[in-house]
Amino acid sequence: MNRIERFLVNSHLRSRCVARYAERMVAMIRPGRGTRLLDVGCGNGAATLWLARRFPVSITAIDLDPAQVRLACTAAGSSPAIRFLIADARRLPFSPGAFDIVWTNKTTHHIPQWQEAFREMVRVLRPGGHLIYCDFAGPKWLSSFLRRLGGDDFGWPVRGQLHALAGESGLEVVHLKPRMLNYEAIWRRGGDR
């Protein structure tokens, strides 16, 4: 992120909104005690910290940007229910099925190879687990336009590609709300548990 993005993303008002939004989304799953939740692209950790306060979950949160992870660690102090790591969403350092819930907000559009990140999120989800995905995603023409505008540093997922990828990955739709450019979905990974 550039300095302006960083300033906006870390603003108090936005952090508060993101935290409440995360709570509303995760509440749809009603996580039970001991649920293992992964926050992909956690930024300053505002949502992570809030989720750990509101639900009986243990949270691992990753971000590629060491400065954001530092901010998140400072804010978290020594909470035993949270661990922050510097990691790339395209190569998550976790074993298959390691999490019950994967939550990601406004992150994949920052990743040119966002499909790799999406597959990784599915890989680390246990069968029967939920992927809560929120990001900007539009039609193909808009994605191509935004990519030309923003350069190769951005991914700008395409809605049709997201649907196809979710289907190929064996995800079942639990909640789907595409609105304007924003796209929020909860998918359940097929399987027994």
Identify residues 101-120 at the interface with ligand SAM (CB under 6 A).
Answer: 105-107, 110-111
Q: Is 82 in the site for ligand SAM (CB under 6 A)?
A: no
Site size toward ligand SAM (CB under 6 A) is 21
d(C-alpha 89, C-alpha 107), whole Å: 9
SS3 102: strand
Rounded (10°) CA dihedral 174, 125, 119, 55: 70
Q: How far is the CB of 191 from ligand SAM (least distance, A)?
A: 25
Give the residue from 109, 115, 110, 108 showing the smallest Cα distance to 161. Answer: 115
**Residue 36: partners with Cβ closer than 8 Å, 6 or more residues away:** 57, 58, 60, 98, 99, 100, 101
Identify residues 11-50 at the interface with ligand SAM (CB under 6 A).
Answer: 18, 41-43, 46-47
Give the residue from 172, 181, 19 showing the smallest Cα distance to 103. Answer: 19
Exactly one of 20, 54, 64, 83 binds ligand SAM (CB under 6 A); which one?
64
Contact 108, 162 (CB under 8 A): no
Q: How far is the CB of 27 from ligand SAM (least distance, A)?
A: 17
Q: How far is the CB of 182 from ligand SAM (least distance, A)?
A: 12
Identify residues 148-167 at the interface with ligand SAM (CB under 6 A).
Answer: none
- Nearer residue to ligand SAM within complex by CB, 1 or 174: 1
Q: Could you list the residues that contact ligand SAM (CB under 6 A)?
A: 1, 9, 18, 41-43, 46-47, 62-65, 68, 88-90, 105-107, 110-111
